[in-house]
Amino acid sequence: MNLGTPFKKSATKVMLLGSGELGKEVAIELTRLGVEVHACDSYPNAPAMQVAQYAHVFDMLDARWLKTYISEIKPDYIVPEVEAIATSELITAEENGIKVVPSAKAVNLTMNREGIRRLAAEELGLKTSKYIFAETEDEFNKAVNEIGLPCFVKPIMSSSGKGQSCISSFPKIGSAWKKAQSEGRAGAGKVIVEECIDFDYEITFLTVRHKNGTTFLRPIGHRQVDGDYVESWQPQKMSTVAWIRAKKIAEKITNALGGYGVFGVEMFVKGDIVYFSEVSPRPHDTGLVTIISQDQSEFELHAKALLGLPIHKINYPQFKSAASVVVKPIGDSSDIQYSNLDEALNETDVKLRLFGKQNIKGKRRMGVVVALDEDVRKALEKAKKVIDKIEITL
């Protein structure tokens, strides 16, 4: 394994497709290893662009633009961080010898909910909620009636809760369809209608595939609001039976996808019953808690794994639990300021990450606080205490 020098002919180049807060952390870890990072996104000054050596602004769903930039950059690795990508060009890039992380197959399957759900439920036989895909409003109405209420509707291409609705009564069907069509990452199109499972808790089972095998991190519990993560904690308490079942699900789905890197496998747990929900072939937003909960964060693990570097034992703080809580203000501004940070951070075992996002319109995740304490409840309380003291001027 050889790594070159940035800006030189020998440079090891990573093309990061999507430059949000998770991509920013990955870019930081890659630059620490002397990798030349090219951060790409559809808008300028995205978080990862602020730390990468190069920034490129273009529509990653446009195959012509993506092909052009791949030809110009000539990356050794392509690392997707978002779903909205012309995946056909990634398949071509891989055929031309460029390493797509974790693999072009994995990225192609997970870019939309249909591909990954059919793989999990119909090919691998994993336990999932009942679901129906619908392309037209008539098909959607029939699907809702067949699944029954309450149920969820989601665009097959979206993230962070965009376009997602919980339908609790039939009069809400029309508005749910319109929301899914207007907020999908790739525009209007097919949706998935899912059964609403009565679960005890939901987890992210971070799984790392690397040259030495597969490493499973401690389960992360999390809470979502409108389909978007607002807090997470590690470890999530589980029964031994549920943990073994979750591990088997994570192993099956990541083995089927292949390649090296971090996978965020989302599951619902009811007693000892575990349901597969979704998988992201990249670091997961709920995994921001690993910035403080482990000696190697999910971002460091992803950087090492994709480069083919060895991963050994992961250490956790003794007698401590960890939590993350997002900084998510509401407003409309293109110049955000944060103050009273000296008072807010006057706590032990806490870290603040401000993502550097340039603007906000409505609600937006602008940062995260992670904390350690003797149990999850106290860690969450500590993180929230810090956020309550941060003053945000919009």
Cα distance between residue 40 and residue 57, in whole Å = 6
Treating both helix axes as pointing N-terminal to C-terminal, what angle do 298-306 and 21-32 enclose, rounded to 10 degrees? Answer: 60
Fill in the DSSP letter of residue 18.
-
**Rounded mean pLDDT of the chain?**
95
Mean pLDDT, range 370-380, rounded to an integer: 98
Where do the H-state alpha helices sit in the chain? 21-32, 63-73, 87-95, 104-110, 113-117, 137-147, 173-183, 240-257, 290-293, 298-306, 341-344, 376-389
Q: What is the pLDDT of residue 163?
A: 85
Tens-digit pLDDT profile for residues 15-50? 999 999 999 999 999 999 999 999 999 999 999 999
- Which of 67-71, 81-85, 120-124, 268-272 has the weakest average pLDDT? 81-85
Q: What is the pLDDT of residue 83?
A: 80
- Domains of the chain are 13-100 (3.40.50.20), 130-195 (3.30.1490.20), 201-393 (3.30.470.20)
Does residue 160 have a pLDDT over 70? no
Does residue 12 have a pLDDT over 70? yes
How many contiguous H segments (helices) and E segments (strands) does the chain have?
A: 12, 22
Cα distance between residue 28 and residue 263, in whole Å = 19
Q: What is the pLDDT of residue 171?
A: 85
Q: What is the pLDDT of residue 10?
A: 97
Does residue 322 have a pLDDT over 80? yes
Cβ neighbour number for residue 146 with a 10 Å cutoff: 11
Confidence of residue 293 (pLDDT cuts 50, 70, 90): very high
Q: What is the pLDDT of residue 158?
A: 72
Confidence of residue 52 (pLDDT cuts 50, 70, 90): very high
Chain centre distance of CA 78: 17
Show which residues are catalytic: 159, 161, 266, 278, 285-286, 365
Confidence of residue 277 (pLDDT cuts 50, 70, 90): very high
Does residue 159 have a pLDDT over 90? no
Mean pLDDT, range 77-99, rounded to an integer: 94
* Nearest-5° Cα angle at 80, 370 to 9: 105
pLDDT over 70 percentage in the chain: 98
Q: Is 260 left (phi over 0), alpha (psi -120 to 50) or beta?
A: beta
Structure tokens at 204: 């992210």
Does residue 263 have a pLDDT over 90? yes
- Residue 190 phi/psi, 5-degree rounding, is -65, 150
Cα distance between residue 249 and residue 214, in whole Å = 13
Cα distance between residue 173 and residue 152, in whole Å = 10
Residue 245 and residue 228 in contact, taking contact as beta carbons nearer than 8 Å = no
Tens-digit pLDDT profile for residues 186-227? 666 899 999 999 999 999 999 999 999 999 999 999 999 887
Mean pLDDT, range 326-342, rounded to an integer: 97
Cα distance between residue 181 and residue 183, in whole Å = 6
Structure tokens at 297: 């964060």
Cα distance between residue 262 and residue 282, in whole Å = 5
Structure tokens at 101: 């992380």
Q: Which amino acid is at 240?
A: T
| DSSP string of 188-236, one letter each residue | S--EEEEE----SEEEEEEEEEETTEEEEPPPEEEEEETTEEEEEEEPP
